[in-house]
Amino acid sequence: MITLGIIEDQPTIREALAGYLGAQPEFVCVISAASVEDFLAKLPELAQPPALVLSDIGLPGMSGIEGLAHLRRVLPMVEVVMLSVYTDAERVFESLRAGAVGYLEKDTPLPMLKEHLLQVAAGGSPMSPSTQSA
């Protein structure tokens, strides 16, 4: 079972991701938060930390890209996949440079998102097709 964390400021998207992925037999969603700061504040309460984090980029407070360094400092073994509406090369590059292992578009269908996250758990680095040409 893969422990999952979600950082997404839009409640409907956050709830859809947590609901869908948490219902999959491969995942257990242990934390979801609206910001990096909220996510970091909730971590000490967890019985088990997330092994995989799905993070938005455009967040209140610290951006998802800025938050990567903090996540990796607190959870050195965590794998972070960025989920964003942005597909420009600069943000993709900044995310990967900051330590993200994948970069997916927010409109990725949930079953495909699940497959991409399973790829990460198996050591892969998923990228949405539009970001590969960026």
Instruction: Provide the domain count of the chain.
Output: 1
CATH number at residue 101: 3.40.50.2300
Q: Where are the beta strands (DSSP E) in the chain?
A: 2-7, 27-33, 52-55, 79-84, 102-105
User: What are the CA-CA distances from residue 103 to residues 11, 44, 47, 65 (Å)?
Assistant: 21, 27, 28, 11
Range of the domain at 26: 2-132
Q: What is the DSSP letter of 106?
A: T
**How many of the other CB atoms lie within 10 Å of CB of 42?**
14
pLDDT tens, 81-121?
999 888 888 888 999 999 999 999 999 999 999 999 999 98
Q: Decide: 71 and 44 in contact? Cβ < 8 Å.
A: no
pLDDT tens, 9-67?
999 999 999 999 999 999 999 999 999 999 999 999 999 999 999 999 999 999 999 99
